[in-house]
Chain A
Amino acid sequence: MSSDQEHWHFDKVLSSDLDVGHAAIEELLTALAVCGWEGSDLFRIQMAIEEAIVNAIEHGNKRDESKKVHTVFRVTPEKVLMEITDEGAGFDHRNLADPTTDELVDQPRGRGVMLIRELMTEVVYNEIGNQVTIIKLRSDPVAEPS
């Protein structure tokens, strides 16, 4: 069996409700554990998806329950792909202020996108910024049987 074979796939349209978002995250975490993800990788993925889902619901859809969040997760033992699309106007992801500067480091906002970028292997936004595709590769890949 190829190590890249998909072990779990989630593709759902969620309402703009944080409880619904967190339920989806719990499903992802359960699937990750089944696929052998643990420790710091598991923590980092949880951190990134928490920020992405909350951003989509709160900042993208502004908690408007008529707007949806399209959520796709694809999990293998070596790679996780998470694609989150909201129905908001997007944002200028290319010109975000750096929250670690002396001027902003003590301000209580603006760290979510930075954390996603720092903790994940690859993070790609679409042109308008209402869709983010996040990829995390396992830090210590499972050895292939010889």
Chain B
Amino acid sequence: MSTHRRISVTDDVSGVSVVRFVDKKIVDSGSIEQLGEELNSLVLVEKRNMILLNFDSVEFMSSAALNKLISLNSKVKAAAGRLKICCLRAEIKEVFTITRLDRVLDLRKTEADAIAAFKL
């Protein structure tokens, strides 16, 4: 079983891997690199391809952290899977909108909305 330090992962009954973040502020470059490795390992090592990132505990993230989400999205797509993101606070959602990442990443308001969207 993989050990994660920057994330926690729970398996929803519908087969979706729900990922939560340990850090409230995702800014430290070492932590961001580790976060990227752990997210990528979900797909490349653990072979998960239905992934939901729940941001309810995240208060702040830098663009370096955004980049890790984009990389994860590419890997999930390559694995014929789906990535969704939920529970963004308004300020972080604004960052996704400004950068137009809301066109690339599937953002959902609540975890329940996101889980339901995996079934569509």
Contact = CB atoms under 8 A, between A and B. Distances in A.
Interface of A: 18, 22, 40, 43-44, 46-47, 50-51, 54, 58, 99-100, 105-109, 111-112, 114-115, 118-119
Contacts of B74: 106
Contacts of A114: 98-99
B100 interface: yes
Given A105-B104, A106-B73, A111 B27 contact: no
Given A44-B91, A47-B95, A105 B62 contact: no
B57 interface: no
A106 to B, nearest CB: 5
A79 B94 CA distance: 22
B73 to A, nearest CB: 7
B71 interface: yes
Given A100-B99, A100-B100, A115-B95, A40 B27 contact: no
B91 A43 contact: yes
B70 A40 contact: no
B64 to A, nearest CB: 7
B28 A111 contact: no
A105 B100 contact: yes
Interface in B54-93: 60, 62-64, 66-68, 70-71, 73-74, 90-91
A107 B70 CA distance: 7
A46 B101 contact: no
B60 A109 contact: no
B28 A115 contact: no
